[in-house]
Amino acid sequence: MRVVLLGPPGAGKGTQAQIIAGRMSVPAISTGDIFRANVSGRTELGRQAKAYMDAGDLVPDEITVAMVTDRLAEPDAKAGFLLDGFPRTIAQAEQLRDSLAELGHQLDRCLELVVDEDELVRRLSGRRMLVDGEWVQRDDDKPETVRHRLEVYREQTAPLSGFYRQAGLLSQIDAIGEIDEVTDRALTALGFTDDGAAGAPAAS
Ligand code: AMP
């Protein structure tokens, strides 16, 4: 199964992506995680991405799309994947559709996690990551950057909901609640039954 997880920063995409991908037996591919690993590893890609990330802006499409195309060509992604944080613009979504078509594949579903903005600001400002045994705040989770990231989401990424709805691929779920509850909604929307088999996806 080839799935895109859509939702604003703080909607719980990273957490849900790990759990759902495990249940689907496909890799969870997070562009944010790949960028962060490159920034910590001081690679050329990390150097190019860092300034955009620190400002809460999107890394330009040409850098991001090339990185994702390479990642999707790896053997573990051949039979399916769950994308977390990509696409984030209509142009990226079109590129994804075209590169999959070249390989004779297509996306099966876009699952959107819906959370209202007040809840997002609350979650992001309190979020901490475990790095080398210490809980730290991501630079881009600082209040002024959070506001900008939400604006960027509204302007550049939210239109993807309509894009995937038109393609007949969109399922939306309420992503407020306990992690387990949200996972259950997600798996139901993706048509996964308790025995782990995929059935017909539920309409949004
Ligand atoms: P995330 O962990 O998904 O919130 O991503 C953190 C940051 O990485 C974003 O604020 C962007 O600067 C960058 N990023 C991640 N995914 C993308 C993407 N698909 N397109 C452009 N920039 C991205």
User: What is the rounded CA–CA span in Å between residue 143 and residue 155?
Assistant: 19
Q: Answer yes or no: is the C-beta of 59 below 6 A from any ligand 1 atom.
A: yes
Q: Which two tokens stand for residue 58?
A: 């999107």
Ligand 1 centre to CA of 194 (Å) is: 32
Longest dimension (CA), the chain: 45
How much distance in Å is there from the Cα of 58 to the middle of ligand 1?
A: 6
Q: For ligand 1, is residue 64 a contact (CB within 6 Å)?
A: yes
Distance 85 CA to ligand 1 centre (A): 6
Range in 65-69, 107-111, 155-159, 183-187 with the lowest mean pLDDT: 65-69
Which has the higher per-residue pLDDT, 127 or 20?
Answer: 20
- Determine whether the shortest distance from the Cβ of 7 to ligand 1 is under 6 A: no
pLDDT value of position 27: 97
Q: Are 169 and 107 in contact (CB under 8 A)?
A: yes
Is 2 touching ligand 1 by the criterion CB < 6 Å? no
Closest ligand 1 atom number to CA of residue 52? 12
Contact 31, 67 (CB under 8 A): yes
Which atom of ligand 1 sits closest to the CA of residue 87?
A: 19
Q: Return d(Cα 136, Cα 104) in angstroms, integer.
A: 43
Is 58 a pocket residue for ligand 1 (Cβ < 6 Å)? yes
CA of 116 to the centre of ligand 1 (A): 20
% pLDDT > 90, the chain: 75
pTM for this entry: 0.89
Least confident range of 17-26, 49-58, 97-106, 137-146: 137-146
Catalytic residues: 13, 88, 127, 138, 149
Residue of 18, 31, 69 to mutate, ligand 1, most atoms within 8 A of C-beta: 31
Specify whether the backbone of 24 is left (phi greater than 0), alpha (psi in -120 to 50) or beta. alpha
Protein residue with least CA distance to atom 12, ligand 1: 53
In which band, very low, low, confident or very high, does the pLDDT at 200 lie, cut at 50, 70 and 90?
low
